[in-house]
Structure 1
């Protein structure tokens, strides 16, 4: 069959299928004329629409992705060895949807929403949510001003993320990108315990099964699975599952967002999704573009990330949003949010290649991780000079904004002077002071993985750094000082931490923090 030209297929089949009754059914049914590499070409299906689900005899499902003049191209949604040329394929009239519900929390599901964690079926009421949906229009959105706290000192102080924002995590492999996303999920536990949960969806795209198992184990141990759903599309799954996994994660996040609750979705990682999309596009004989990616790979990511938003509080107005599924129409509430943390892997730190530049232009800022910083022991290995949040201070609580205002500028000045000081020229005392303060701040901003900080603890220790209260202590003792300082504040000044947590920072609090820091630092002076 492969020797026959596509233009000849329809005429040969029409000649063989001269039975008029059957030919009239070709609008609803099709015949497989070619199959291979997860792509089926079918004659017929004349009434099929783009993105429609179709069904094969062995109950395998596929999705129509190409509408040609004489045939349609279908991508299979699961592996099937039973299909062969000549088999019948039929329309379903449905678009790709996933069943979503509260009882998905704590579970690992595949792209189709089926549980794959061995804990049995998902119980309770489930609502059908389409994978593809229009993003909310501007009039249904609110400014992003509520912080999404990550528990990472570096990010919450200098690159703050707001609820409803899209913040890209970008860097080479093995630089700690996934760790930042996992720590952000773990940090939401403190809100879950206060009965103000941020529902988290972690989408694993083209990863090893062992990696996904390790991540779920970490989240389980930290008590984070109670409010988290993992959507898994491993590297051994069909390519189509890897392409649609982020859309499944977004549909789950939209369920929580549209029902008036905050949600967070992590896409780990979108560069692997783009590679899978390139593979399918080349198999579908779509023309290759830059780096062999298809021309619409930008649209693939933009229509996905545009769906993240902070929804207006007005419930009645929120009910008029685009494409609301009928299954949740009566549950729509205002004030929900969907925050996205897409991850992109770069090659040798090159952020100017095709996919990184695409996603940078879609998102509201990026956190750039550097291999050199990682190997020099600075973790998280964030380069603050090119990392940015385009929401900025409006996504910070008042107390953090007050004390971290000059931190990024100080660190940028320190980095510039540090590279200059390597030339070995003699430096004046004010330059030496800037270098020392920068080194101490770098030490303060270091953090162990899976150990997120409460926002009040972050403010307390960053205040000490910005005020340069540790200029006399040895750099290698900063970490020990920090532990004792935070412990002492929790024991003796819990009310100060409560005030900081509530965004209050005044002269009295400033005085207490300064006094405690100077008292404790005396024993660390060398």
Structure 2
């Protein structure tokens, strides 16, 4: 008799099917994130528990391998376990799918550690304050919008404004550091993902990187799970390897669309802009897993770069405001700056960091403490000068200084700059030496300065090096 009651509790029946989702009846002891199997060897994940009009318990579930056909009336068997992926050193320099299958292998084969896809975020006692800076290699970010290890920094902007380029430059800058990077691609085309991977291969940057991909042709279930699998992979190396980790979620706007599709397929009522009412909780429980762990847990850190795509620069959209309220700051990209040739196209007026400046190196604070304010004043003065017929000499000097500063902060893609070089460039920009250069010659000066070997700057004072470069620029003209 006990066996019969137990079978009733762990078995259920499929009463309706959809694309990647099923509705079950039975499984009376089911819980959220529980895994079950079917007769056709399909694997499912419980995501919703509710009652119908007759007060019967119904279960909404996702199919992790929807390619296997299922019919109404098929039985399912609960496994009384959470959804896990199998991880190991094989994940390094490899491409994985959302359920942990290896798409591209680096040669390692030891995948032996099961890890929960969804886990609770670390508590307050398990965390510590952000105290270490994460260098992105972009002088415009490291000087004005610094990011700390354990921070959540949103990258927001329109389509084709350089959001992925900032992520790739941040990955390339970790080449000689101990930071492990996980790049998660959500809903992008296969060609775009391949282009990103090949650009990292060319720079020898895949040996401290793992990629998880759910392409645009993947099911909504895989696109939804891919973000949580990426967080689980990052946590694996943070906790077991005690390493700082960087998680890039590119992008969460497609993740929200995938969850909205799942929600509608489960026939749940939609909320604002047809998104489910729990979309804030979906993203918050994902991003809250980023933390700087205490030394009792190894002292590792998980830094997260969620990416959001906006429409016509509107950062007040539903998903954008949700993510902004969760994260510790945002890097806003402007389409107008991008089209005018200012790369990276960072809008200093909308960009902010809330904790990164705590871990910023004191030398960078000294040389870059006032640049963000100067840039903001330059933007206001530039917009005002368009309607003024005549400007005073002081205003003209400030405009010229602002234009020269903008030229200094320009940086081409796939070319990160080390921290010492950034401090050297900003210290030279604050001197009278560059005032002798025309604005169009600033880029040539920076290229010549960056081409000088680092050991040269240790033997020769930077001022003498800069003066010799200025003389070379004058001779070239």
User: Cα distance, 1:80 vs. partner?
Assistant: 2.7
- The verdict on how the C-alpha distance between 1:490 and 1:67 changes in structure 2, with shifts beyond 3 A counting, is closer
Matched, 1:294 2:276: yes
- Residue of 24, 33, 46 corresponding to 1:64: 46
- The verdict on how the C-alpha distance between 1:389 and 1:449 changes in structure 2, with shifts beyond 3 A counting, is same
Counterpart of 2:367 in 1: which secondary structure?
helix
Alpha-carbon contact 2:310-2:320 (below 8 Å) kept: yes
Matched, 1:28 2:10: yes
Deviations 1:66-113 (A, max 9, x none): 223333222111223521112111111111111221221000001111
User: Cα distance, 1:366 vs. partner?
Assistant: 0.4
Aligned to 1:88: 75
Q: How does 1:46-195 map to 2 (within 5 A)?
A: 46-69=28-51, 70=56, 71-117=58-104, 123-124=109-110, 126-191=112-177
Cα distance in 1 between the residues matched to 2:348 and 2:77: 54
Matched, 1:415 2:401: no
Deviations 1:171-199 (A, max 9, x none): 001000011011101110021xxxxx211
Which segment is superposed worse, 173-182 or 131-140?
131-140
- The verdict on how the C-alpha distance between 1:299 and 1:100 changes in structure 2, with shifts beyond 3 A counting, is same
Q: How does 1:268-279 map to 2 (within 5 A)?
A: 268-279=250-261
Cα distance in 1 between the residues matched to 2:4 and 2:127: 51
Using the size of structure 2 for normalisation, the TM-score is 0.94
Q: How does 1:354-369 map to 2 (within 5 A)?
A: 354-369=318-333
Aligned to 2:237: 256
Aligned to 1:516: 465
Counterpart of 2:148 in 1: which secondary structure?
coil
Aligned to 1:377: 341
User: Cα distance, 1:125 vs. partner?
Assistant: 5.2
Cα distance in 1 between the residues matched to 2:450 and 2:73: 71
Structure 1 stretches of 5 or more lacking a match? 1-19, 192-196, 319-333, 497-511
Aligned to 1:428: 392
Cα distance in 2 between the residues matched to 1:513 and 1:490: 11
Aligned to 1:42: 24
Aligned to 1:230: 211
Alpha-carbon contact 2:19-2:66 (below 8 Å) kept: no
Counterpart of 1:226 in 2: which secondary structure?
coil
- The verdict on how the C-alpha distance between 1:22 and 1:456 changes in structure 2, with shifts beyond 3 A counting, is same
Which segment is superposed worse, 487-496 or 130-139?
487-496
User: Cα distance, 1:388 vs. partner?
Assistant: 0.7
Matched, 1:241 2:205: no
Which segment is superposed worse, 394-403 or 162-171?
394-403
Using the size of structure 1 for normalisation, the TM-score is 0.85
Cα distance in 1 between the residues matched to 2:125 and 2:450: 44
- Residue of 280, 286, 294 corresponding to 1:312: 294
Deviations 1:192-221 (A, max 9, x none): xxxxx2110000011111111111111111
Counterpart of 1:377 in 2: which secondary structure?
coil
User: Cα distance, 1:480 vs. partner?
Assistant: 1.0
CA-atom RMSD in angstroms: 1.9
User: Cα distance, 1:282 vs. partner?
Assistant: 1.4
User: Cα distance, 1:226 vs. partner?
Assistant: 0.3
Matched, 1:211 2:216: no
User: Cα distance, 1:516 vs. partner?
Assistant: 3.0
Cα distance in 1 between the residues matched to 2:435 and 2:29: 74
Aligned to 1:470: 434
Alpha-carbon contact 2:150-2:290 (below 8 Å) kept: yes
Counterpart of 1:437 in 2: which secondary structure?
helix
Alpha-carbon contact 1:374-1:380 (below 8 Å) kept: yes
Alpha-carbon contact 1:441-1:466 (below 8 Å) kept: no
Aligned to 1:324: none
Aligned to 1:6: none
User: Cα distance, 1:520 vs. partner?
Assistant: 2.5
Cα distance in 1 between the residues matched to 2:253 and 2:462: 44
Alpha-carbon contact 1:112-1:248 (below 8 Å) kept: yes
Aligned to 1:321: none
Q: How many residues align?
A: 468
